[in-house]
Amino acid sequence: MTNPAKVVIVSGGTFGIGRAITVGLAARGHDVVAFGLESAQVSSLAQAAIPSLRDELASRKLAAMLLEADVSKAADVKKVVDATMEKHGRIDAIVNNAAIGPLGTILDTDEALFERIVSVNLKGPFLLSRMAVPHMKQQGGGAIINVGSGAGWGKPNMAVYSASKGGLHALSTAMAYDFIYDRIKVNTVIPGGGGIISGMSLGRVGGDQSRLGKGAPGTAAGRVATGDDIANVIAFLLSPEAETLSGTVIDVGCFANQGGPVPPKPAA
C-beta separation of 72 from 48 below 8 A: no
- What CA–CA distance (Å, rounded) separates 174 from 192? 23
**Is 66 or 265 the better-scoring residue by pLDDT?**
66
C-beta separation of 36 from 12 below 8 A: yes
pLDDT at 1 over 60: no
The domains of the chain, with CATH numbers, are 7-256 (3.40.50.720)
Q: Which residues of 21-42 are buried (b: 16+ CB within 10 A; e: fewer)?
A: bbbbbbebebbbbbbbbeeebe
Q: Identify the band that residue 223 occupies on the pLDDT scale cut at 50, 70 and 90.
A: confident
pLDDT at residue 72, rounded to an integer? 98
C-beta separation of 65 from 32 below 8 A: yes
Taking only the tens place, the pLDDT of each residue in 66-89 is 999 999 999 999 999 999 999 999
- What CA–CA distance (Å, rounded) separates 149 from 143? 19
Taking only the tens place, the pLDDT of each residue in 123-161 is 999 999 999 999 999 999 999 999 999 899 998 899 999
pLDDT at 260 over 70: no
Q: Identify the band that residue 210 occupies on the pLDDT scale cut at 50, 70 and 90.
A: low
pLDDT at residue 40, rounded to an integer? 77
Taking only the tens place, the pLDDT of each residue in 6-49 is 999 999 999 999 999 999 999 999 999 999 998 877 777 667 89
First to last CA, the chain: 44
> What is the share, in percent, of the chain residues with pLDDT greater than 90?
72
- Residues taking part in catalysis: 161
Q: Identify the band that residue 237 occupies on the pLDDT scale cut at 50, 70 and 90.
A: very high
Alpha carbon 4 to its chain centroid, in Å, reads: 22
The verdict on pTM exceeding 0.85 is: yes
* HSE of 11, CA atoms in CB hemisphere, 13 A: 33
Neighbours of 93 (CB within 10 A): 24
What average pLDDT does this structure show over 107-129? Answer: 97
49 has which bridge partners?
none
Torsion angle defined by CA atoms of residues 149, 198, 91 and 239, in that order, rounded to the nearest 10 degrees: -70
φ and ψ of 251, to 5 deg: -90, 120
How confident is the prediction for the chain on average, in pLDDT?
90
C-beta separation of 230 from 23 below 8 A: no
Q: Which amino acid is at 144?
A: I
- What CA–CA distance (Å, rounded) separates 238 from 41? 29
If we measure between CA atoms, which residue out of 211, 95, 99 comes closest to residue 158? 99
Q: Identify the band that residue 164 occupies on the pLDDT scale cut at 50, 70 and 90.
A: very high
pLDDT at residue 209, rounded to an integer? 65
Q: How is residue 61 annotated by DSSP?
A: T
